[in-house]
Structure 1
Amino acid sequence: MRYMLLVFFGACSYGILSTIVKLAYSQGFSPSQVIGGQMAFGFLLTWIPALFFLRTKPQKRLLLLLAGVGIAVGTTGILYYNSLQYIPASLAILLLFQFTWMGVLAEAIMTRKRPDKPTLASLLLLFLGTMLAGGLLENGGLQQFHPLGVLLGLLSAVSYTLFIIFSGKTALSINPWLRSSSMSTGSLLLTCLIYPPVFLIDGTLWDGLFPYVILLALFGILIPTACFNFGVPHIGAGMATILGAAELPTAVFASAIVLQEQVSWLQVAGVAIILLGIILPKLVQRKQPKTASPAA
């Protein structure tokens, strides 16, 4: 249960990001400044606790593999934050949330096992709840879609799925804090190739950008990456993607409280359905009778 709560908390942490990004955009900051700052400070925040676990030197090959997993984290941020320029946040996060079924499908293919009925029922609830909570059935719905924004949103779901899958399978022998710092290194390298860190020398960082990027680094890099690295190996990618759906309700409530965005009753109903979809597999598991151990 504690590993499930870790993944749930990490997903909630991700849900705060869209609100912070929208606040940063409203102050005139560009995606390159926001993304670059997040990855740079995420790199620093993850390496601070990791330094206490460097007494035993891990294999360089494993660290490189973890940096490769970190590229998926950086790719998700780049794609998702750029999609927010073309489509509303509710639609962008709706597209990102396609990782719920993508992750379960990917795990089914890799393990060659069909998802059980509780998992399929949970996915159905998550899909319905996401449609409602994302506001797709109101405010114009499909008419708000922009082709480029849709493409970026869907690709962010693919990269996020890859992160969840490989974060639970790569270099599990390495301390989770070292795994997090190695992943953040890969994210930073990718971001610097696409968005050179000009904000470090042009004065933008101390001209209002710092509060936003330090919060994004905390809630978008340090907390969720550590939570996923500790939790996913113990619960599996399929359950992790279901718990990851907690990101959308958090995003809805954060935008309503901080940005004063109106939340309809349909969206509230969608959030409730998502929460039901998250806890359904655990409820079914508890109701199943435990098999008695054979007598010695």
Structure 2
Amino acid sequence: MKYAIAVFLGAVSYGILSTIVVKAYGRGYELGEVVGSQLLVGFVLSWLLAAVTKRNAIRKRRNAVGSGEGGRSAVPARPALSWKQRLLLMAAGMPTALTGLLYYQSLRYIPNSLAIILLFQFTWMGVLVDAVRRRKRPSNLMLITLAVLFGGTLMAAGILDHGLANFDALGAALGLSAAVSYTMFVLFSGKAVPSAEPAYRSAWMITGGLILVFVLFPPAFLFNGLIWGPLLLFGFLLGLFGAFIPPVLFAAGVPHVGEGMAAVLGASELPVAVMLSAVVLHESVSVLQWAGVVLVLLGVAMPEVVRRLPHSRPKGGAHRA
């Protein structure tokens, strides 16, 4: 249960981000300042965690040696990452920074509740990419799931309520591009040096994202004094809930609950973001849109629920000679 709670809280943390970004825009901050301060805080917190992890590992090995248990056999040390591995991790972390840039920019054109719905299209995009890569048609269950997700998206996005008249094309394109970028991150991140210590993996991936953002948006806010204003608070909150807490909680919980259940628990990001849009940002969310959110959640959960259903056993055939 504690590992499931860890994954759930990690997803909830992601659901908070868009509301903080909208508030930062309301104070006049620009995209590069918002994302740059977020990743800078995440960079500092992640490397602090990596340093603490390294210190604790050294202490355990020393204690094991001192107690005569055999240091190497009791607490084996992981090999140091090569620069090739570090560069690979930094490259794998760049799509998540790109996702933040595209997603946060979409919030300038479309409501928060719609932006998170568009971002959630990574669910079917990942299935499509995997089917093309394997050259294998998705199962009937997956096709039904995609249909449920698509129908829920139409409802949750408000298209059935308001039509396409107030649907900003640029904002929608940015939101869908964020979903594409996030799909790339999901596909690549898990394959990038999986044997490395999770704390180091997270730190090097965030480093790659930070470098990308600082190249695209030079961090003038570090030198003009802007960082010492409210931007520091926004950056701290975004870095804490976006770049630090979720990776740590997911690294701790996903291996124990499994990827399927993690996807179900991770979908809690969606209702949290929509709820905060209605309560904090006072966006109008209709009953039909809420029904669409529920439908999207059912679509995400459906494969895992079906997988866990008990299979019927053949009658009388189990003990025949």
Give the TM-score normalised by structure 2. 0.80
The one of 207, 218, 223 equivalent to 2:229 is 207
Partner of 2:20: 20
- Is the deviation greater in 264-273 or in 141-150? 141-150
The one of 90, 102, 106 equivalent to 1:67 is 90
Gap regions ≥5 residues in structure 1: none
- The amino acid that maps onto 2:113 is S
- 2:133 equivalent to 1:110: yes
- The amino acid that maps onto 2:27 is Q
Residue 156 of structure 1, CA deviation: 1.1
Asked whether the equivalents of residues 103 and 241 of structure 1 are also in contact (C-alpha less than 8 Å), the reply is no
Aligned positions of 1:174-185 closer than 5 A: 174-185=196-207
Residue 105 of structure 1, CA deviation: 1.4
Change beyond 3 A, Cα 1:245–1:88: same
Secondary structure, aligned partner of 1:16: helix
Partner of 1:125: 148
Identity level (%):
49
Change beyond 3 A, Cα 1:245–1:165: same
- The amino acid that maps onto 1:35 is V
Asked whether the equivalents of residues 129 and 273 of structure 1 are also in contact (C-alpha less than 8 Å), the reply is yes
Secondary structure, aligned partner of 1:272: helix
- The amino acid that maps onto 1:93 is I
- 2:176 equivalent to 1:154: yes
Change beyond 3 A, Cα 1:114–1:243: farther
The one of 269, 283, 289 equivalent to 2:311 is 289
Aligned length: 292
Partner of 1:217: 239
- 2:74 equivalent to 1:51: no
Partner of 2:75: none
Partner of 1:192: 214
Aligned-partner Cα distance in 1 for 2:156–2:213 = 31
Asked whether the equivalents of residues 100 and 245 of structure 1 are also in contact (C-alpha less than 8 Å), the reply is no
Residue 121 of structure 1, CA deviation: 2.7
Aligned-partner Cα distance in 2 for 1:180–1:94 = 26
- 2:186 equivalent to 1:167: no
Partner of 2:102: 79
Residue 110 of structure 1, CA deviation: 3.0
Asked whether the equivalents of residues 112 and 274 of structure 2 are also in contact (C-alpha less than 8 Å), the reply is no
Aligned-partner Cα distance in 2 for 1:66–1:175 = 12
Change beyond 3 A, Cα 1:228–1:66: farther
Gap regions ≥5 residues in structure 2: 59-77
Aligned-partner Cα distance in 1 for 2:95–2:223 = 27
Q: Deviations over 1:210-254 (max 9, x none)?
A: 221111111211123334555667845x87666654332221011
- The amino acid that maps onto 2:248 is A
Give the TM-score normalised by structure 1. 0.86
Aligned-partner Cα distance in 2 for 1:196–1:203 = 14
